[in-house]
Structure 1
Amino acid sequence: MLKIGCHLSCAKGFLAMGKAATSIDANTFQFFTRNPRGASAKKLDDRDVEQYRVWALEHHFAPALAHAAYTMNASAATEHLRTLVRETMADDLARLESIPGSLYNFHPGNHVNQGVEAGIEWVAAALNEILKPEQATTVLLETMSGKGSEIGREFEELREIMDRVGHRHLLGVCLDTCHVWDAGYDIAGDLDGVLEHFDRAIGLEHLQAIHLNDSQNPRGSRKDRHATIGEGHIGLDALARIINHPVLRHLPFYLETPNDLAGHAREIAMLRKLYRDDV
C-alpha cells in the first residue's frame, strides 16, 4: 500500500491531524514541531497524544514526520544562534519521545559565508550534542536546492555531515523531489542514475522518507519553488515512476505542495491510482 500524507496544522493536536489525514485517504502526515517562523511550541496534551497513538495503530499509519522550524540554522554564524538551535532541537526530540518511531526532519542550514566545510562542521557538532543513543526518533537531513549558501545541495555534503556524527544509526535522509530537481539532479530523465549516485554518496539504506513535490522551476535553477503534483517541470509521469520505483515504493511520501486539504485529497487519489499494488 502507498504510504502517503501531506503537511497538516498541529494547532488542534495530534488526534485532529490523524483524523484529517484519514479524511483524505492519507495514512501518514507531516507537521511542524513549533511555529515554522519562530521558536514557540504548543504544550503537549498527554491525553491527545495517547488517543492519537491508538488512532494511528488502528488505521495502520506510517510514521509521522515532524519538521523542524525553518528559522533554525544549525550552521549559523554566531554561537548564540547555534546554541538556540541546539536547545530547540533537543527540546523537539524530547517531546517526540511521546510518539515513538517518529521521524524528525530538518534543513541542514546556511553557512552564511563561512564556507560549506565550516557549515558542515557546525551541523555535525549540533547533532553530536543532541542525539541520545536511547532516543526513539530518527533524525533526517533533508536534501536542499542550493539557493544562497544552503548546505545539502549535493548528496556528498550530507554524507560528510553523517560521517562526523557519533550515533549515525539515528540519522537518515529525507529526499525532497523539488529540491533535488532544482539542485540539478535529473529525477525525471535519469531516476536510476540519481539513485545510483545517492547510493554511492550516502547509501540507499539511509533514505527513509520522501517529500513528494513537483517544481515550478527548470532543473538546476536552485530556487526551491514547489508545485502541485503534475503541474510543474518534473511532471506526473516522473513522479509516478518515483512512487513505483522498487527502491522507493516502500518509503513514506509526504506532500508539501501549495494546496489546501481538498487539493491534497485530489493529489492523493490521483497518486493512489498510479501506484501499482501488484508489484
Structure 2
Amino acid sequence: MLIKILTIFPEMFSGPLTSSILKRAQEQGLLKVEIVNIREFSEDRHLKVDDYPFGGGAGMVMKPEPFFRCLEALKPAPGARVILLTPQGKTFNQGMARELAEAEELILICGHYEGIDERVRTLVTDEISLGDFILTGGEIAAMAIVDCVGRLIPGVVGDPFSLKEESFNNGLLEYPQYTRPRLFRGMEVPGVLLSGNHREIERWRRAQAVRKTFLRRPDLLGEVSWDEEDMKTVNSILTGEAPPKAWK
C-alpha cells in the first residue's frame, strides 16, 4: 500500500513512522508512506498557504491553490482514496479501516487553522473524522489512520489470527487477557484459562466479551450476531445471577 500525507508540518511524522510495526512494514516493502509538504506547492514567494476568510471572522483559512497544484503533481492512481481529515467527516471506525486497507493508494489531507477552502472538497473521495472533538490539525488524525489501516495489511502483524480477536472486529470488545504470574497481589487468573479445556476457554472468552460490551459499550451490540449462550450471559447481568462456576 502507498499512503501519501499532505501536510504543512512534515516533521510531526518522523517519530510515529520510524518505530515499531510501521517501521518494520516499510522496511519489508509492505507499506510505503510519503510525506508531502503542501508549502512546496504555494504560489506565494514566502510559501504562504493561508489567508483571511471572505466575510470576516476569526482565524485563517487554507488556500485552495496549493492543494490543487499538489494533487495535480501527485497524479493519484485510478481508484485512489483521497481523504480529507475534518470534524465534518464520517466517524472513523474499525469497519472503515478494513475497507481502506483494501485500497492500493491513500492520500490523506491534513487541514489546519480554521479549515480549508471549501473548493478543495471537490478533489476528495472521502471525509473522515476521528470523533466529536477538535484537534489543532489533521496530522494526529492521519497518524492514527495510518497506524490502524497499516496493521491490517497482510503480513504487517506477525500473527494474523490476533487481529480477529481484537476489540470491534466482531462487534464486541475484547475479552480480558492474563499472563504470568498466576497469582499477583491477591488477584488470581481465572481457573478456566488454566484448565486446558479449549472449548470452555472459548465459551468463557465469548461470555466475557459480551459482558464487557454490554456494560461498557452497549451501543455496539446492534451489530452482534447473538446465540443462546450470549443471551444467558446478558440475562445473568440483568438478573444479577452468578455466571456458571467455570466462567468465573
Q: TM-score, normalised by structure 1?
A: 0.26
Structure ID, larger Rg = 2
